[in-house]
Chains A and B, each alone.
Chain A
């Protein structure tokens, strides 16, 4: 069985500061990992996904995530936060890259950016 935990339901950072959103997963097989962003009253948008091609994955809007098997982690980072980054972020895990009926979503982390 797979599971995802996101440490911190709410994270606040100052504009220009480093963004770090934590995600740890549990999987009995090599996982596929995703980060999604959800802006208020909108659907989810894929930021990036890990498919074993490279451990450091670069996504849209300056975000990137690093897969660390030894730590079972896939933390999301951005060097400098912008006001427009304020949103809900979801980490997700799957045993299959494209069978989305098997994707397990984490509970989400709400990011606030302070001017």
Chain B
């Protein structure tokens, strides 16, 4: 069965420090992968999506970048974190589970920048 992993679950980082959040998917190949940010009291904002290795589309200009070094690995990074980068980061993949194709979300990483 397909599963999606994210780590770490929680992260507290100082302003100006680097960031690396990892997302991996198991049980599927060549999935479409997505990074979302959910700020407190707000809906989800799509940050990046990828349709394959090395293929990254960015939805909004920001302090973050993404990479897909392997088929089932999607990494969210920053060279220098800002206070405004705090939020709940969700990775998702598009795939089939039973008869329905839909988007499945990982457990998320809660990032607090101080």
A residues contacting the other copy or chain, number (CB 8 A)? 19
Whether A45 and B43, one on each chain, are in contact in the complex, defined by CB atoms closer than 8 angstroms, is no
Determine chain B's interface SS by DSSP, over half rule.
Answer: strand
A-B contact pairs, 19 of them (CB 8 A): A42-B108, A43-B4, A43-B92, A43-B108, A44-B44, A44-B90, A46-B102, A46-B103, A46-B104, A98-B94, A100-B32, A101-B34, A101-B46, A101-B49, A101-B57, A101-B59, A103-B103, A105-B45, A108-B43
Chain B residues at the A interface, C-beta cutoff of 8 Å = 4, 6, 9, 32, 34, 41-46, 49, 57, 59, 90, 92, 94, 100-108, 110
- Give the residues from 69 to 115 in chain A that come closer than 8 angstroms, CB to CB, to chain B: 90, 97-98, 100-101, 103, 105-108
Question: How many angstroms from the CA of A43 to the CA of B90 in the assembled complex?
Answer: 7
B residues within 8 A CB of A97? 101
A-B contact count (CB 8 A): 55
Whether A49 and B102, one on each chain, are in contact in the complex, defined by CB atoms closer than 8 angstroms, is yes
Whether A41 and B46, one on each chain, are in contact in the complex, defined by CB atoms closer than 8 angstroms, is no
A36 → B minimal CB distance (Å): 8
